[in-house]
Amino acid sequence: MTTYNNTSNSHFLHRQLSLYAVVAFLLAMLLAFTANAQDKVLTLDEAIKLGVENSKALKLSSNRIQRAVEQYNQAKDEALPTGSASFGYSRAQIPANRLEFGEESFSLPKSANAYLGTLSLSQVIFSGNKLKYARESTELLTQISRLDEVNDKDQIVYSIISSYYNLYKVLQGQKVVQQNLTTIDQQIKQSQRFFDQGIVTKNDVLQFQLQKANVELNGIDLENNRKIVNYNLNILLGLPETTQIKIEQALSAEQPMHMLSSYIDTALANRP
């Protein structure tokens, strides 16, 4: 009896240790993934510095650039309409094709043919032409990879600024979407209360719900743009592909704006 208990305890401990090992492995994988996918806040100056330093290596990163192009093309293709067509034919024999109803009779055909054809066309609601920033980002990335670090430095800097600004616009758009969703949710709750009180119709409530659905679709499109623009910017700056780039605000709300002429004078004075 003692031997049986020892054996049972041994099996139990073995199972527990195996379970702990699996849990420890999963936690290690999760921590490693989290470490690789950490956010990175970048100023424009930091982005330019990283991009210029990485421009020479970028010419040798043809595989990474090709993956970026394929990623954009895949997102674009998923937004295109898809269609399918099928055709079927069947033939059925009718042995007892004569029906008797007392003195009357009714004859059926000895066989019956059936033809069935189907044609379907589907398209996602948010179409590929909305991938504006993703397309611009991919084009900029491929252009920079063909530039020379020394002779085309100005063009490289300009392209980095454009890529950085593309991500900024996408992130700002996502903030607007979230603000709109918060406002619409409040309107839906209010209209639902009014509907319960008989003040508005159900159609009024549905209009707000439809408006929310449209804003959510816009949010999906912006997220598709953000993923591709962020991925391309990681390659452009030589960052790990899983890095989630956050844009540091270029202008503070408290920073006063000057006359346009002063900015032009400053630019001319610092012109090489």
Q: Residue 100 and residue 106: Cα distance in Å, rounded?
A: 6
Give this prediction's pTM. Answer: 0.54
Quickly state the pLDDT bin for 110 (edges 50, 70, 90).
Answer: low
The Cβ-side half-sphere exposure at 137, using a 13 Å CA radius, reads 31
Tell whether the model's pLDDT for residue 222 goes beyond 60: yes
Q: Distance between CA 269 and CA 263 in Å, rounded?
A: 10
How far is it, in rounded angstroms, from Cα 69 to Cα 65? 6
Which pLDDT score, from 0 to 100, does residue 174 have? 92
Domains of the chain: 33-80+127-250 (1.20.1600.10), 82-122 (no CATH)
Per the model's pLDDT, the better-predicted residue between 55 and 97 turns out to be 55
Q: What is the pLDDT of residues 119-138, one digit of tens each?
A: 444 444 444 445 666 677 77
Residue 144 above 50 pLDDT? Answer: yes
For residue range 147-189, what is the model confidence (pLDDT) as tens digits? 555 566 777 788 788 889 889 999 999 999 999 999 999 999 9
pLDDT greater at residue 17 or residue 211: 211
In the chain, the largest separation of any two C-alpha atoms, in whole Å, equals 112
Tell whether the model's pLDDT for residue 195 goes beyond 80.
Answer: yes
Residue with tokens 């109803």: 101
Residue 169, Cβ density class (10 Å: 0-12 exposed, 13-18 middle, ≥19 buried): middle
